[in-house]
Chains A and B, each alone.
Chain A
């Protein structure tokens, strides 16, 4: 399998506080290295504040690192500009944590789903939008409605449909389940797994739940304080965690039996 994404020595820091200058520099990411192949899914685990979401924004090329590179299909994404960057955007799409803020409340579902096509100058028909909706398990009558008329789970489905519109190769899902209740979580999890199969796409699944990660991802990294504490096959990380961070995460999940 061809390599899809490779991160090399990523470091990123923010300046905190200090309206009059002299703010403190806080390192959010340090020495991040990982890679995965096309079609493979990658789990990014860690407690809150460990830098997972920052890493997600870097992979989406929404922010730049202080140093280090990310290659997607061999292209250094931070060197891209203009048309090339736009082409990259087609390949990588986000699904965010909070479905209440990830959909523009002024746009109907139809507008939301049509926008990716319009932005990238692609023709689309009404039937394309309906197909996208049915793929995420929503009816055609949803097209005319506004996001506020849907529940959290339904909104997350719309967000996923939007991400699928341009047939991306990689979807970066930043804790897509954590603001949903448990029964809905299972539905969305299944939906993500189905879509992964059907489109043959890769998924970066960011979560703090190891069990969910195992369901979707073959490979996983556990992050701790901005660094990768453990990297390997999901099962290995799950069954015999070597780092303290991974052990803590595992213990935090209540055993079912």
Chain B
């Protein structure tokens, strides 16, 4: 087990090297002038284009430039993100917690309701409840995320005024940036609790509702479907039949015996979906003006902020590897038959 984890972690640098090399190669397809334009804010500065290219070595051969970037990256310096107006590492540190918060909230909703609806759907297979669940889940899945997000905003912000966009309200912003509010983890939900400031906690939570719901609707369909079919398979096995014949309550048979065994594919799916959510918050964060890593990634790409794009991709790649590793470890916890070698 330990050796397995170690081996997987040793793979991590190789994955990182591959991803960054490929991306760097792609960005080099843009001409030096285009890449230099990032540093120019004013048309009057156009004359200094050559100077910028010279200064940052944008015309050097690709391996030289990649090596220069790599040398910095190894030292923990990923360059300066012009779009965020801070070093890339600081930008990731600033934006990542908000996104993780959002993705965690969404994946909790997906797993809880997905598993529950999947079980109910399987229990009443082909009945009215089953068809109802399947219809709504598929309808939610078919709706584009940005349309759904905008509709939710229209209703719950425009009409009812319950949930506003953004990460927190103006008042909360003042509190967070006051000297009394200490930052411990960067996760506002945790920090607000540690500061015993429940106003900020509920404010942040309230701002999380709409983006999290929007995010999870898209992932729901797959979860319900996988849980339903996995559950149907388990319910048809003899250990379920013999549990019933032993006189176990239907609740125990369904949730303890069949349910837990049916959860095994859900674990993989959830971990893959979680990583997808982290990388795929781009649209939701843009719609809800949520200052997370996805929105920053979009800005980087739009402004040709190459250091930012590289940092963003590197981070997603690392998360992907770690997420899959976590899924493998979770497996052994949930299924005693699996031993990692």
Contacts and interface: CB of A to CB of B under 8 A. Distances in A.
Contacts of A102: 237-239, 241-242
Contact of A90 (B241, B247, B261): B247
Contacts of B248: 115, 119
A60 B241 CA distance: 9
B335 interface: yes
Interface in B237-264: 237-239, 241-248, 257, 260-261
Interface string B213-244: 00000000000000000000000011101111
A137 interface: no
Interface string B250-288: 000000010011000000000000000000000000000
A94 B245 contact: yes
Nearest to A59: B245
Interface residues of A, number: 31
Dominant SS among interface residues on chain B: helix
A96 interface: yes
Given A102-B239, A105-B261, A148 B245 contact: no
A169 to B, nearest CB: 14
A96 B335 contact: no
A146 B241 CA distance: 19
A242 interface: no
Interface string A77-113: 0000000011001101110111001111110000000
Interface in B145-204: none
Nearest to A18: B126
A106 B261 contact: yes
Given A19-B126, A89-B247, A119-B246, A106 B335 contact: yes
B244 A105 contact: no
Nearest to B257: A104
A137 to B, nearest CB: 20
A246 interface: no
A89 B246 contact: yes
A196 interface: no
Contacts of A96: 238, 241-242
B239 A115 contact: no
Contacts of A116: 246
B336 A105 contact: yes
A115 B239 CA distance: 12
B337 interface: yes
A146 B238 contact: no
Contacts of A93: 245-246
Nearest to A93: B245
A148 B239 contact: no
Nearest to A105: B337
A57 interface: yes
A148 B336 contact: yes
B238 A101 contact: yes
Contacts of B239: 101-104
B336 A94 contact: no
Contacts of A60: 241, 245
A159 interface: yes
Contact of A62 (B237, B245, B260, B261): B245
Contacts of B247: 85-86, 89-90, 119-120
Contacts of A115: 243, 246, 248
Interface of B: 126, 237-239, 241-248, 257, 260-261, 335-337
Given A115-B243, A119-B246, 15 more contacts: A19-B126, A61-B245, A62-B244, A89-B246, A89-B247, A93-B245, A94-B238, A94-B245, A98-B238, A102-B239, A102-B241, A104-B257, A104-B261, A105-B336, A106-B336
